[in-house]
Amino acid sequence: MKKLGFGCMRLPVLDGDNSNIDVERFKEMVDLFQSRGFTYYDTAYNYHGGKSECALREALVERYPRNAFTITTKMPMFRVEKAEDFKRIFFEQLQRLGVEYVDYYWLHAINKKEYEKAQQLNAFGFISQMKAEGKIKHIGFSFHDSPELLDRILTEHPETEFVQLQINYIDWDSPAICGRQCYETAVKHGKPIIIMEPVKGGALANVPKPVEELFKKADPDASVASWAVRYAASLPNVLTVLSGMSNIEQVDDNTSYMRDFKPLDKDGFALVETAAETIKNYTAIPCTACRYCVDGCPQKISIPDYFGLYNEYMRMKRHLDGDYKNVQGGKPGQCVLCGRCENVCPQHLKIRSYLKDVAAIFEK
Ligand code: SF4
Ligand code: SF4
């Protein structure tokens, strides 16, 4: 299998509405991806307000033979309340996707809280049963917590075949994400890894000027984002690397260098490490724009959009008032401090505190 997967969480949308996917543009992206020999697609129940799986059916499943692609989707543990929910959600997913089976199926966004729930409700038992019935080919979970918890889960559930981890060059040694330690734990248990967020939600495609110059000097033809994807794909034991692509140019760029992938050499790794150190000095809020926090916010605050603007402001020291006003929903100053967003943030960000910083800059 080629080492690039199509992440379907940042698809092109119409009218700025995250749940209104531009399926015609998505079809063009799928066609280019397929034509270059790539076949792996990663979606989830909650992506794009529940519309990503349906869009994948329209753009891919209804247009290509079943053996021409690999589909992966996930059980939204954060939406599960009772054991019966597993069956209802899983069969709804098969229907949304228009398939009789999925190739890889994950328990989504496992952390301490969701693992306790998974244990209580026998989530691993359910996905193992679906595998035995041929509705799932391979099982695993995507993970956002400590290496200690990962070690415990892989010990308690050796039936896990794969793990999906957040790994990128900026979070490799981060105490909050523990990319390296989680990676080493999965390797210790002999589990192949699928990497998510290699470009950290696009942040590593839009690096500070000195880092861009560093990369361009090393290879004028390589895009900045390509360093992040190639770094992740160069790690041993990695099955594939997901990139959440939003337009045809990104598909074109990613597939061009991943078609005949060559892992980074020692100098390449050293260069990326230097870049990581420089970037750390520039990023105010390390948000990946995964949007997990948005759905549950009672004030409908589009948190990642504000964090993106704040980071942009801190990098360029330039006000972005027009963009700020255009963000739909509640404003950062309307946060009621309920904390729901922080409970689901895979980056463990202190969102409430950051929103105060954003409001202090943009709402004064
Ligand atoms: S703490 Fe604020 S931003 Fe977070 S969910 Fe509650 S209202 Fe929304
Ligand atoms: S604040 Fe956290 S949950 Fe929300 S988009 Fe950013 S990284 Fe994702």
Return the structure tokens found at 97.
């996707």
Lowest mean pLDDT among 45-54, 139-148, 174-183: 174-183
Q: How far apart are CA 8 and CA 364, in angstroms?
A: 37
Return the structure tokens found at 35.
């034509």
Q: Tell me the ligand closest to 296's alpha carbon.
A: 1
Domain boundaries, the chain: 4-280, 303-362
Nearest CA to ligand 2 atom 4: 293
The model carries a pTM of 0.81
**Residue to probe by mutation, ligand 2, list 166, 287, 356, most atoms within 8 Å of CB:** 287
Looking at the predicted structure, is the pLDDT value of residue 320 above 80? no
Phi first, then psi, for residue 178 (nearest 5°) are 55, 45
Give exposure, 114-125, as e/b (b: 16+ Cβ within 10 Å): bbeebeebebbe
Q: Which residues pair with 106 in a beta bridge?
A: 74, 140
Residue at 300: amino acid letter: K
Tell me what the mean pLDDT of segment 220-247 comes to. Answer: 96
179-189 tens-digit pLDDT: 999 999 999 99
Tell me what the mean pLDDT of segment 344-358 comes to. Answer: 94
Looking at the predicted structure, is the pLDDT value of residue 338 above 90? yes
CA 143 to chain centre: 11
pLDDT for the residue numbered 288: 85
Name, of 41-45, 207-211, 342-346, the range with top average pLDDT.
41-45
95-117 tens-digit pLDDT: 999 999 999 999 999 999 999 99
CB 282 within 8 A of CB 317: no
Would you report the helix, strand and coil content of the chain in percent, each value rounded to 5?
Answer: 50, 15, 40
Q: How far apart are CA 19 and CA 214, in angstroms?
A: 37
CA 276 to chain centre: 19
CATH 3.40.50.300 for domain 4-280: no
Tell me what the mean pLDDT of segment 137-155 comes to. Answer: 96
Pocket-forming residues, ligand 1, beta carbon under 6 Å:
297-299, 301, 303, 335-341, 351-352, 355
With a 6 Å cutoff on the Cβ, whether 351 touches ligand 2 is: yes
Q: Which residues pair with 141 in a beta bridge?
A: 107, 163
Tell me what the mean pLDDT of segment 272-287 comes to. Answer: 88
pLDDT for the residue numbered 176: 67
Work out the number of other CB atoms within 10 angstroms of the CB of residue 296: 12
Q: Look at the block and give the residue holding tokens 């199509």.
A: 6
Looking at the predicted structure, is the pLDDT value of residue 317 above 70? no
Nearest CA to ligand 2 atom 3: 345
Looking at the predicted structure, is the pLDDT value of residue 178 above 90? no
Per-chain mean pLDDT for the chain: 94
Q: Look at the block and give the residue holding tokens 């861009």.
A: 212
| Torsional class of 39: left (φ above 0), alpha (ψ -120 to 50), beta (otherwise) | alpha
- Of the pLDDT bands very low, low, confident and very high (cuts 50, 70, 90), residue 363 is confident
Atom of ligand 2 nearest to the CA of 351: 1
- Of the pLDDT bands very low, low, confident and very high (cuts 50, 70, 90), residue 16 is confident
